[in-house]
Amino acid sequence: MNVKLDPWGAVNIDDYSKLFDEFGILPFDVLIPDIAKPHKYMRRNVIFGHRSYDLITDAMKNGKPFSVMSGFMPSGKVHLGGKMVMEEIIWHQQMGGNAFVGIADRESHSVRGMSWEKCRELGINEYILSLIALGFEPDGLIYFQSESSSVKDLAFELGIKANFSELSAIYGFSGETNISHMISALTQSADILQPQLSEFGGPKPTVIPVGADQDPHIRLTRGLGHKMNMFRIEGREDNKDNQYISVRGKAAPEGALAEVAERVTGDAKLFEGHVDIFGTDDFPAIIDAVRQVELDFGGYGFMPTAATYHRFMSGLQGGKMSSSIPESHIALTDDPKEAAKKVKRAKTGGRVTLDEQKKLGGEPEKCSVYELLLFHLIDDDNELMELHSECVNGSRMCGSCKSLAAELMSDFLTEHQELRELARDRLDEYGL
């Protein structure tokens, strides 16, 4: 146990189930029956966990508004890990979500020391062009943190509810951490909550697709969103074991609790500092009524931030994928022929000898080439299952998988880079 999740450092997770117990992340697979057309990452257990994603499945199922939001720190080339997040954003957009993508230039400037000019150059030429090329539609919002007044203003407000002790507990900040680094963390929380601002339609379920290392941002934001709200709603019991619902004011202005008592269903009794509601167990209706009162009194009424968590890809040579080790990853702007060579040099899950491979079969779960097929290169589940079966039973050798993956990777990058050039001519459609 004792897994450390660091959004800015190296993270090694050998057992994702540890995150369920240690951080309260929930297994994702139980939600798949509620999703009409699950993404391949969902079907293949690449997305392994979630927080509050049932809010999103309910919205998709019932045609309710919802948003998807994620961000990218412009610090270098986009590799296949970034592509995963982009595809998850685009899928949610296709499912009816209002999509937001933040280019985290404040984070890159404060944490990596990137100049503002370099942040913008990388943001557009690396991240945004690939995002558009992969299918992001212009009805979504792409923005730079430094240029968004709504994000910067909200980050300032969130800062009132945050303190150094909390940030230190979540991120491990110390006395040596610069203040702008802390501000960039609050800015990320503002990114995540921005889709719920009134100028974007008000409170709604919002999902953040991330790798597990980004969970500290999700936990901070969920806590801050709760602190920003005027009311706390709880289920309680009296001394006769009668259950009731209590709405308690945290920072509610005068008259707000009285308005809650007027609007909720059930037998509502107003007390100093709280309203107790008897005769109903309709939590959703009460939550909606209380949220509307909060909005009418100038509050935010934030809904809990939802998140999906996907597994990390292995490095092509085994171990962890690292942006600083070119041979460990493939960037979306790599030369297709050179990328194919990387694939052919990649570590596989094959046995030491050909005879052992035929006798014992391969180990696709330990194979970086199979991961490329699983995560990125084969969309057909049946085709992938057939490859997996042939590997395990020893009828398929590593060379044929490498050749297939190398060809598919070269084809993908060739097409993707052509689409990137077309995307360059469309930047004005996205307000860039």
Residues 244 and 209 grouped into a single domain: no
* Domain boundaries, position 143: 18-228+303-310
Residue 411's pLDDT band (cuts 50, 70, 90): very high
Angle made by CA atoms 59, 63, 68, in degrees to the nearest 5:
50
Closest CA to 127 of 75, 196, 55: 75
Lowest mean pLDDT among 5-9, 37-41, 64-68, 324-328: 5-9
Strands 306-310 and 67-72, how do they pair? Answer: unpaired
Please check whether residue 5 lies inside any domain of the structure: no
Contact between 343 and 405 under an 8 Å Cβ cutoff? The reply is yes
Tokens standing for residue 335: 């030369």
Closest CA to 112 of 81, 151, 73: 73
Residues 88 and 237 grouped into a single domain: no
The predicted model gives 93-97 an average pLDDT of 97
Residues 103 and 145 grouped into a single domain: yes
CATH number at residue 50: 3.40.50.620
DSSP secondary structure string for all residues of 249-271: ESSPPTTHHHHHHHHSSSEEEEE
- Report the domain count for the chain: 3
Q: Give the pLDDT confidence of 208-246 residue by residue, as tens digits.
A: 999 888 888 999 999 999 999 999 999 888 777 788 999
Kindly report the pTM of this predicted structure: 0.90
The predicted model gives 375-398 an average pLDDT of 91
pLDDT for the residue numbered 6: 53
Please check whether residue 321 lies inside any domain of the structure: no
Residues 150 and 189 grouped into a single domain: yes
Please check whether residue 143 lies inside any domain of the structure: yes
Residues 113 and 161 grouped into a single domain: yes
pLDDT for the residue numbered 24: 79
pLDDT for the residue numbered 300: 96
Q: Give the pLDDT confidence of 237-259 residue by residue, as tens digits.
A: 877 778 899 999 988 899 999 99
The predicted model gives 163-174 an average pLDDT of 85
Residues 190 and 59 grouped into a single domain: yes
Q: What is the mean pLDDT of the chain?
A: 90
Residue 12 has pLDDT above 60, yes or no: no
The predicted model gives 399-420 an average pLDDT of 95
pLDDT for the residue numbered 216: 87
Residues 210 and 238 grouped into a single domain: no
Please check whether residue 11 lies inside any domain of the structure: no
- C-alpha 250/C-alpha 247 separation (Å) is 10
Maximum CA extent, the chain: 80
Gyration radius from the chain CA atoms? 24
Q: Give the pLDDT confidence of 99-140 residue by residue, as tens digits.
A: 999 999 998 998 889 999 999 999 999 999 999 999 999 999
Q: Which residues contact 418 (CB under 8 A, 6 or more apart)?
A: none
Please check whether residue 56 lies inside any domain of the structure: yes
Residues 239 and 380 grouped into a single domain: no
The percent of residues above 90 in pLDDT, for the chain, comes to: 68
Closest CA to 68 of 44, 32, 92, 48: 92
Residue 1's pLDDT band (cuts 50, 70, 90): very low
The predicted model gives 313-323 an average pLDDT of 73
Residue 416 has pLDDT above 60, yes or no: yes
Residues 267 and 221 grouped into a single domain: no
CATH number at residue 376: 1.10.240.10
The predicted model gives 331-353 an average pLDDT of 88
Q: Which residues contact 166 (CB under 8 A, 6 or more apart)?
A: 220, 223
Please check whether residue 3 lies inside any domain of the structure: no
SS3 396: coil
Please check whether residue 2 lies inside any domain of the structure: no
Residues 83 and 135 grouped into a single domain: yes
Tokens standing for residue 347: 């570590």
Residues 206 and 285 grouped into a single domain: no
Please check whether residue 10 lies inside any domain of the structure: no
List % helix, strand, coil for the chain (3-state, nearest 5). Answer: 50, 15, 35
